[in-house]
Amino acid sequence: MRRHGSRRSRRPLFVFAASLSLGLSALAAGSARADEAPVKMGFVTFLTGPAAAPFGIPDHNAAELLVDELNAGKVPAPYDKAGLGGAKIEPKFVDESGSAADVVTQYRNLVERDHVDVVVGYVSSGSCLAVTPVAEELKQLTVLDICGTPRIFEEKPRHYVFRVNPHATMDNVAAVKYVLGKFKNLSVYSGINQNYAWGQDSWRDFKQAMKDLDPAATIDKELWPKLFAGEYGAEISTLLTSNAQIIHSSFYDGDLESFVYQAAARGLPQRIPLVLTAGESSLWRFGAKLPDGAIIGARGPHTFFAHESELNTWFRRTYVDRFKEAPIYPAYDFAQSLFGLKTAWEKAQAKKGGARPTNDEVIAAFEGISFPTPSTTVHMALGSGHQGITDTAYGTYKFDKVTSKPTVVDIVRYAAECVNPPAGIDSVAWLEGGMKGAKCE
Amino acid sequence: MIVARALIPGTLAFIAAAALAPALPAWLISLATVAFSNALVVLGLIILWRAGLVPFGQALFYAVGAYAVALIGRYTPVRDAFALIAAGALLACLVAFLVGFLLARYREIFFSMLSLAMSMILYGALVKTETLGSTDGFGVEPPTYLGYAPEGAMQHLVLFWVVLAFGAAAALLVFFYFRSIAGALAVPVRDSEIRLEFLGVSVNRLVHLNLMIAGTLAGIGGALAALAIEHVDPNMAYWTTSGGFVFVTILAGAGTIAGSFIGSFVFELLKSVAYDLLPGTWQIFLGAALLVTILFLPEGLGSLFVRLRRASPQSKGAAP
Amino acid sequence: MLTAFAIATDGLVYAAYLFLVAVGLSLIFGVMKILNVTHGSFYAFGAYGAAVAVGMYFDRGLPAAGGFLLMVLVAAAVGLVLGLILERGLLRLFYGKDEIIVVLVTYAAFLILEDVIRLVFGATSYTLYQPLGAAGTLDVGTFVLSGYDILLVALATLVALGASIALKYTRWGHLLTVVIFDRELAAAVGINVSAVYTITFIAGAMLGALGGAAMAPKIAVTLGIGVEVIVLAFAVVAIGGMGSIGGAFVSALIVGECRAAAVHLAPQVELFVVYAVMALVLIFRPQGLFTRAQPRKI
């Protein structure tokens, strides 16, 4: 006969839980006590979940590749010094999946438990926004990687947080310019974007830029499928009944592929050209399945749009050799982040006569610098020198039937100061104000 | 006398935690703060649990509490933690009161699914609200405590103590609630509603009351979590958040007040270890840990379910 | 007029998707009273299995009809293996325990299987595009319907009919129905409830895997596709009534059409549709649309 609610039956639970807690705390704390020489770097990206395929894997691949090549000193100039100024990089990878609470907890673990020197990463804008104030509070040098929201440096000035990759405003400004270059008097357009911050922000920027540059254009259909919905039959039907001349979409990877396959099967992209602001990431998988004529962006001058340079050739070659596939824009984004950090680090080190710089010295050196990357040159021009800008480019898709390779033709480049807001004004305000201050040729 | 004795281990545990805190590493304190905020939600869950109801939408109140804190901080100069938490609690209580009129009429899986639907509707509304950042959410300003504005490391210590205080107060209140008539009536709600109705008790009103208590507790938990994480986003209202609370509840050997706190803490710790050791495969670790706990902690889980199991033999199943 | 036609057809296609995803769950819940969270894993494994196997098939240039048949076979195989392992190996350890424990066990199994997928198939996404092309299109005036969508609707109808007939007219169907009604009585009458459980679980697993396999050509098969499906399936089952095939069918139709209408006419509302429908239905029919009269136990 079991006695109900007897204290005896609960004691084993207490003992178990207590010992488990102690054991786990010890285990958790015992991980990674570093010696001083290497640079401990926390890399945070999506290792699991649906964002792993489009972002996490290329991010992680680029990280592994660059850490190994940098540590071996095999990167071409000006990055030929081993590691960061001679100190080897010791990476620690953390999964970005989970709630905001999980992301913040893992960030605190990296900083307060594992004592990393720098944190690099974060794909989701939500993660970036959650982690930034914590970085400032803990005075931890952090380089945000792929997230696109302009809010990071526009809401508050930041001291410890940097972002080398430009934010997402320039993607859609350049998209509008390219579209208007091809469709001289665009009158109707539609959009299909994922119903979450990224999709909403992209569409908002595209609409506003269109209003600035072609006020006569009207919107026919605005579609908002759920993120990772996967099934777009109803949306495609709606677009088939649309009289739009182009369809804007900020879809990426999985959703983009599903949409394109389903749409192409029903003749939509052949009828109405798609404008895919993040389309580059899927071009290698589309092959002939994406009809020619789609307008493609790469969130920067990456892959097809990258400027020729020894660094670019080296990066592509080593990446393909190691991973048997071409690097897509998230990999380029990561390279930019790491090379920016390296430039700042070594500049601070040179100022100190070769001694290892403190984080504060790296920060001082990081602000406002310019440096080459496999794609282009980055200028840390916004957010008081904490936010980078680059030029960008758009092109039109054409599948080369002879070589069976995807290519992009009719490439148009846009200077950094033309498609990014000038220093001192918020992106949204800049767009609403007619993009005053933009310097285009 | 018996009651006082039953309170001793819990009181000692809270005092010990508060006293040890300054000596513990900062990351552990932050982790524990989040864990104990969630424990309050779990505490609310237990109340409904005893009545045989498993809400899959506690995230609704959690998010309401969290967003109340965040919105007040964003649009007014109010920074006092206690005022913010009170606002979160009140708002969550109000929402529970309103939602309860509908929810209290349902039982079993329909109660669960309807409560899930409510929280997902809030989620959808938050996602559509671009001024609040949609899925990116927005930040929560660091609070002050009755005029005192802690600096640096003290910020987290003070918040931890505040969370502990709320946790202790909630635990005490729930403890006495269980011993009250209203609380005691929860068990018969699960066993046989009809008999209860014949006794003259309005079961729907009882469920409504339980919902309000659980909702308020979840709102306080959400408010505290918002202060701890310093960020709110719609995901706090998503069904996976609710699911997380439910599973911590069961894992903890639910039904015991102590279990809520211990279980939440162990779960957060497990997650941290999983992320740390197995960055790409932490879900296997978590799932395996859950299974192991279920298999080898029959005492902890069993004592609850012997107490609360329905009298009907249907639940015993026809297992071979 | 075109819009109305588009809404009608889109609703049907989405309903087919919902039904295929939910029917297995409804069966398992109806018979075993288990809220099977692992259902998401069946869906995911079915999708991955189809993407790999059927992809290889089409790459060899073999006839399309065989490819479609292979999809069903792969789903059946995946469901059989997974269902057996889970039911015999894991679930039966917990049958005597409270139902909520069993839900937790299925959740733990789901977590584990999510990472097993990552270990087996990797984190890159798979695409199975060949069946889409092979099925062709159907032009209705200026409107283009995908042949594959039509096949999906046909499949869902077949499954609905097959399941209903099986339940009504076969021996196993009768046994399942008795257990749905009253487990205790079934055991008392001498029915081998344990065997019924195993058969049901495997059938549910196969149906879940079939849902995944059937959807694989339309979506990008990647990590995490199981997660969303779980809540959708639960919602459809809750609306339709537990254990009722017909209920799942009707509820899928309702949700499908409402969602299609939302997409065409009020796209911003699309996020809420499933939950709003569920809330509305439950307000007016608290036990779902198709439930059997429950005797009140005093």
B234-273 per-position pLDDT tens digit: 999 998 899 888 878 877 765 678 888 888 888 898 889 8
Please give the pLDDT value at position B164. Answer: 93
* In a shared domain, residues A341 and A369: yes
Q: Is B128 at the interface with chain C, CB within 8 A?
A: yes
Is pLDDT of A1 > 60? no
3-state secondary structure of B45: helix
Is pLDDT of A35 > 60? no
CB atoms closer than 10 angstroms to residue A424: 10
Tell me the nearest-neighbour CA distance from A104 into chain B, angstroms. Answer: 7
Q: Where are the alpha helices (DSSP H) in B1-133?
A: 2-20, 26-50, 59-75, 81-103, 108-128
Looking at beta carbons, which residues of chain B come within 8 Å of C268? 128
Looking at beta carbons, which residues of chain A come within 8 Å of C58? none
How far, in Å, CA of A426 to CA of B237, rounded?
Answer: 30
* In a shared domain, residues A107 and A124: yes
Strands A188-192 and A246-249: parallel
Query: Which residues between 10 and 49 in chain B have a beta carbon less than 8 angstroms from any beta carbon of chain C?
Result: none
Helix axes B153-179, B203-229, angle to 10 degrees: 170
Band of residue B285 on the pLDDT scale cut at 50, 70, 90? confident
B117-142 per-position pLDDT tens digit: 889 899 989 998 888 888 889 999 88
Pick from B235, B269, B282: CB nearest A25 = B269
pTM, to two decimals: 0.87
Pick from B30, B135, B155: CB nearest A196 = B135
> Which residues fall within 8 angstroms of residue A225, CB to CB, at 6 or more apart?
A192, A194, A195, A232, A235, A255, C263, C270
How far, in Å, CA of B140 to CA of B128, rounded?
Answer: 20
Pairwise CB contact (< 8 Å): C96 & B317: yes
Q: Is A254 at the interface with chain C, CB within 8 A?
A: yes
Burial C262-279 (b: 16+ CB within 10 A, else e): bbbeebebbbbbbbbbbb
All partners of chain B with 3 or more CB pairs under 8 angstroms = A, C
Tell me the nearest-neighbour CA distance from B210 into chain A, angstroms. Answer: 22
* In a shared domain, residues A287 and A373: no
In this structure, which amino acid lies at residue C191? I
Looking at beta carbons, which residues of chain A come within 8 Å of C220? 53, 230, 253-255, 257-258
Sheet hosting strand A161-163, strand order edge to edge: A89-95, A39-45, A118-121, A142-144, A161-163, A387-389, A377-382, A370-372
All partners of chain A with 3 or more CB pairs under 8 angstroms = B, C
Burial C164-193 (b: 16+ CB within 10 A, else e): eebbeeeeeeebbbbbbeebeebbeeebeb
* In a shared domain, residues A97 and A162: yes
Pairwise CB contact (< 8 Å): B294 & C94: yes
ipTM passes above 0.95: no
Question: Which CATH number is A370's domain given?
Answer: 3.40.50.2300
A245 domain-assigned: yes
Please give the pLDDT value at position C224. Answer: 82
* Average pLDDT score over residue span B276-291: 84
Please give the pLDDT value at position B88. Answer: 95
Pick from B105, B127, B250: CB nearest C101 = B250
* In a shared domain, residues A81 and A185: no
Which residue in this structure is represented by tokens 């307008």?
Answer: A295
Pairwise CB contact (< 8 Å): A17 & B262: yes
Pairwise CB contact (< 8 Å): B114 & C279: yes
Domain residues for A94? Answer: 39-168+307-389
* In a shared domain, residues A316 and A336: yes
Pick from B135, B233, B279: CB nearest A95 = B279
* Average pLDDT score over residue span A231-239: 88
Band of residue A34 on the pLDDT scale cut at 50, 70, 90? very low
Is pLDDT of A3 > 60? no
The count of domains in chain A is 2
**What percent of chain A is modeled with pLDDT above 90?**
71
Pick from B105, B280, B282: CB nearest C286 = B105
The parts of chain C modelled with pLDDT lower than 50 are none
Pairwise CB contact (< 8 Å): C14 & A233: yes
Please give the pLDDT value at position B181. Answer: 83
How does the average pLDDT of chain A come out, rounded?
89
* Average pLDDT score over residue span B167-190: 86
CB atoms closer than 10 angstroms to residue C31: 26
3-state secondary structure of A119: strand
Tell me the nearest-neighbour CA distance from A323 into chain C, angstroms. Answer: 12
C228-245 per-position pLDDT tens digit: 788 888 888 888 877 788
> Which residues fall within 8 angstroms of residue C49, CB to CB, at 6 or more apart?
C74, C75, C77, C78, C209, C212, C213
* In a shared domain, residues A148 and A208: no
Please give the pLDDT value at position C127. Answer: 82
* Average pLDDT score over residue span A73-91: 90
Interface with chain A: mutation pick from C17, C43, C152, C222, highest number of A CBs within 10 Å: C222
B203-239 per-position pLDDT tens digit: 888 889 999 999 999 999 999 999 999 999 999 999 8
* Average pLDDT score over residue span A404-425: 92
Please give the pLDDT value at position C190. Answer: 87
Pairwise CB contact (< 8 Å): A254 & C268: no
In this structure, which amino acid lies at residue C134? A
**What percent of chain A is modeled with pLDDT above 70?**
92
Instruction: Nearest chain B residue to A132 by CA: give it.
Output: B139
A403 domain-assigned: yes
A13 domain-assigned: no
- Per DSSP, the residues of chain C read -HHHHHHHHHHHHHHHHHHHHHHHHHHHHHHH----TTHHHHHHHHHHHHHHHHHHHHHTT--HHHHHHHHHHHHHHHHHHHHHHHHHHTGGGGTTS-HHHHHHHHHHHHHHHHHHHHHHH-SS-B---HHHHHH-EEEETTEEEEHHHHHHHHHHHHHHHHHHHHHHHSHHHHHHHHHHH-HHHHHHTT--HHHHHHHHHHHHHHHHHHHHHHHTTTS-B-TTHHHHHHHHHHHHHHHH-TT-HHHHHHHHHHHHHHHHHHHHH-GGGGGTHHHHHHHHHHHHSTT-SS-PPPPPP-
Please give the pLDDT value at position B300. Answer: 47
Is pLDDT of A147 > 50? yes
Sequence spans of domains, chain C: 20-222
Please give the pLDDT value at position C3. Answer: 82
